[in-house]
């Protein structure tokens, strides 16, 4: 019955793709979990061979905020948050089938700023024009951006930083990616019709924001314009954006009681409808990534499990 159920999750589209959701549970100590959907609404968990599809081994030995992305090499590249504080690294591994993974690497993305407090929620975006990956994340560097120093939790005052790579061996020097004039975490990037939509969490606590906003650019590396007004409720984070049919979906983790996975959708990236009550996600799912993957990969996973 499980095999039939999972096969029924295959999207009935000419592209022969399936929707995959990567996520973590609890504090991230168990590692990577995966789920499938045919419509972006109802998600069914893939059961791993062991406790998870990949257990964390580097940095702080957690696997929070797992982000999976494919590039021209068709490999599945995975980055994640390895811990709450130091060392200021991100985790990285790759796979060709989502079951067998490469050796994990700790990438010291903030080695140029030794006082960095944290490296949170790394995200991958493949720039098909430059044939390179963007890796971007949130960090607090004490003493920087004093104008918002007292607006966050526990002295955190984040901005988004980034590096680029073609092979995950060599990386460009880390630079500031986005400063919208507010405390910000959990960025994700969506391309549509030559525009690049940077969706971020406004991390301001005083006064409470904790919602999602969008800034737009003509280039994946920016510069991005002024962020628009919030388009979600407060106390959400971990956005992941995707186009399904002719609609844009932005998923989010509502992380206070009651904890649940929700989403909003839009046809024009301007007017949004909350569809959270229509969603079914695996129990305990936290901050993940949604992407289209080839149908053949799903069939291979099912055959292997």
Residue extents of the structural domains in the chain: 2-304
Burial class (CB in 10 A: 0-12, 13-18, 19+), 33: buried
Place of tokens 């649940």: 260
Average model confidence (pLDDT) for the chain? 94
Task: Kindly report the pTM of this predicted structure.
Answer: 0.94
Query: Tell me: the pLDDT tens digits for 148-172?
Result: 999 999 999 999 999 999 999 999 9
pLDDT of residue 14: 42
Query: Tell me: the pLDDT tens digits for 27-69?
Result: 999 999 999 999 999 999 998 888 999 999 999 999 999 999 9
What confidence category does residue 101 fall into, taking pLDDT thresholds of 50, 70 and 90?
very high
The verdict on domain 2-304 having CATH code 3.40.50.970 is: no
15: pLDDT strictly greater than 80? no
pLDDT of residue 3: 41
pLDDT of residue 303: 85
């Amino acid at each position: 019955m499980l095999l039939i159920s999972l096969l029924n999750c295959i999207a009935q589209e000419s592209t022969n793709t399936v929707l995959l959701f990567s996520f973590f549970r609890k504090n991230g100590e168990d590692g990577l979990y995966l789920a499938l959907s045919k419509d972006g609404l109802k998600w069914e968990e893939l059961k791993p061979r062991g406790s998870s599809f990949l257990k964390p081994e580097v940095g702080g030995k957690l696997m929070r905020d797992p982000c999976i992305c494919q590039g021209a090499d068709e490999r599945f590249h995975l980055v994640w948050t390895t811990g709450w504080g130091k060392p200021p690294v991100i985790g990285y591994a790759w796979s060709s089938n989502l079951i067998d993974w490469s050796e994990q690497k700790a990438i010291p993305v903030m080695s140029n700023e030794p006082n960095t407090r944290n490296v949170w929620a790394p995200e991958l975006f493949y720039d098909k024009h430059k044939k390179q990956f963007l890796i971007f994340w949130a960090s607090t560097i004490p003493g920087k951006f004093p104008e918002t120093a007292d607006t966050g939790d526990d002295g955190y005052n984040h901005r988004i930083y980034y590096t680029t790579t073609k092979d995950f061996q060599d990386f460009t020097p880390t630079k500031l990616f986005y400063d919208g004039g507010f405390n910000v975490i959990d960025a994700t990037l969506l391309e549509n019709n030559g525009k690049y939509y940077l969706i971020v969490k406004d991390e301001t606590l005083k006064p409470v924001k904790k919602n999602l906003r969008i800034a737009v650019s003509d280039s994946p590396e920016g510069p991005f314009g002024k962020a628009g007004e919030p388009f979600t409720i407060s106390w959400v984070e971990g956005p992941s954006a995707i186009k399904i049919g002719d609609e844009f979906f932005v998923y989010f983790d509502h992380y206070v009681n009651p904890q649940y996975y929700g989403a909003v959708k839009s046809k024009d990236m301007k007017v949004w409808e909350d569809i959270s009550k229509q969603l079914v996600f695996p129990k305990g799912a936290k901050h993940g990534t949604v992407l289209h993957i080839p149908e053949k990969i799903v069939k291979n996973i099912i055959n292997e499990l």
